[in-house]
Every structure is written in structure tokens, then in C-alpha cells.
Structure 1
């Protein structure tokens, strides 16, 4: 019985490697892999706000956040605050970003400073 099973397996094994040839359709366009630019939002010790290195008045921040939230795909908001920046200001900026519809918010830290402590 084992010999018969072995012979059947040896005969059918090469048949399993043959695949059916199918003519697949061609895609008319390549997938869009563009990634949006990240928004760098810096807050200094005096609570001044910088949008990609450019100073921004607090009343303009909501407009810029709303414009960033409306972009497709939506850019990530990277917040960088100095160590002496009041947390209240950082929390206000995060709250305003959330209120304007910004979904992806992250923080930028300095790992070299943390290692020196």
C-alpha cells in the first residue's frame, strides 16, 4: 500500500507545479505614494509659536491648523517645545489642533539631551 501511494505521489507531484496561465490586465496608473510634508510647530520658552520655522501669531494658528487638516492626505503635526516652555501653552496648541481636525500629532524630542542626564 505504501509503495502504491509513493508511486501515485511521484506521478502527480510534477503536475502540481504547472500553473494556469492567465493574461492579467494592465494598470493604467501607478499607485499614488506621495506622502504629505510634515508640519513642524515649535514653541519657545516665551510661548512664541513657529510654523515650519516661520513666526505665527496665535490668532493665525487656528487658520493654519484648519488648512492643514483640510489637506488630503493630512500632514502630521510635529510639536517641538523647549524644556522651559509652560506645559499649558503646549496643551493649548494640542487642543486647538484637535479642535481644527488635525488627527496625527507627535512630539519631537532630543534624545542626546536625555542621554546626558
Structure 2
């Protein structure tokens, strides 16, 4: 409280709210929220070959799997209806004695979801030879 000496009339009372405690409480709540939210991890673990990987005795067949801009799958130039059709093709490829190499080529405008779906389906179905090709288009 400020007391003024003299005969001057008292100034008008201050009607502003002190926002410092409000900001302090909001910052504490924000920190608590950040700490309590679990970390979301969406990762596909891939085992990459080393530099001294041996050459295969028989050259495997190569399957061109493309993901177009709309997220549709194309298997060796043949459009697939949905992810179920892709998994049927991948299941048949995984059942072969000499598994084919799957060359996954996503379109530059393709969303991440169908590309990740193709990778996880291939890994889950037991395909050992899958790789992303055409990644030089993302260098620009």
C-alpha cells in the first residue's frame, strides 16, 4: 500500500489483474502435462546388411512394389485393390523357397502411412529382402 503525504486526492485504485501468478501456474501445468504424456514411438525396426554381406548364390527375382501419390499399391505394374491384396502377394512371396527381392518405390507425394504399412506387412510376413529404391528423388 502506498500512502501519500499531503492534501492531494487519492488516485483511482488499480483494477488490473496481476497475471504473474496465473502464468506461473500455467507453466507448471504445462510442464506436468509434458512429463506425464507417454512418448509415442512409431518405428519399424529394420536389420540392415553390413558392408561385407555375401553375394547370393542364385540371383533372386525382383518385385517392383510402388506406392503411388494416392497411396495405392502397384505390384510389378499391376494395381492392387487394397492392403489385403498386397498382403496376399507378400504372403505368396514369403512362402517361396527363394524369396524375391522387394524393391519398394514410393511416389514423392505419397503419404507415410501406406509406405510404412507395406514395410510392416513385409516384415510381419517374414520377407527378408526388402529395400527402398529411388530415394535419390528426395535429395532436392
SS at the partner of 1:57?
Answer: coil
Q: How does 1:8-87 map to 2 (within 5 A)?
A: 33-58=57-82, 59-87=84-112
SS in 2 for 1:98: helix
SS at match of 1:46: coil
Q: Quick one: which of 88, 91, 108 aligns to 2:113?
A: 88
Structure having greater relative contact order (Cα 8 Å, sep ≥ 6)? 1
String of CA shifts for 1:54-97, please: whole Å, max 9, x gaps: 10122211111011011121111110001110011100111111
Task: Indicate yes or no: 2:126 matched with 1:101.
Answer: yes
The list of structure 1 runs, each at least 4 consecutive aligned residues, that deviate by more than 4 angstroms after superposition, is: none
Gaps of 5+ in 2: 1-56
CA distance in 2, matches of 1:96, 1:46: 19
Give the number of equivalent residue pairs. 83
Which structure has greater helix proportion?
Answer: 1
TM-score by structure 2 length? Answer: 0.54
* Pair 114,65 (structure 1): closer, same or farther in 2 beyond 3 Å: closer
Give, in whole Å, the separation in 2 of the partners of 1:99 and 1:79: 16
Q: Based on CA coordinates, which of the two structures has the bigger radius of gyration?
A: 2
Structure 1 residues not aligned, in runs of 5+: 1-32
Q: Work out the CA distance in 1 between the residues paired with 2:126 and 2:95.
A: 8
For 2:138 and 2:115, the matched residues in 1 are separated by 20
Instruction: Give the drift of 1:110.
Output: 5.4
Residue 116 of structure 2 aligns to a residue in which SS? helix
Describe the SS at the equivalent of 2:105. strand
CA RMSD after TM alignment: 1.6
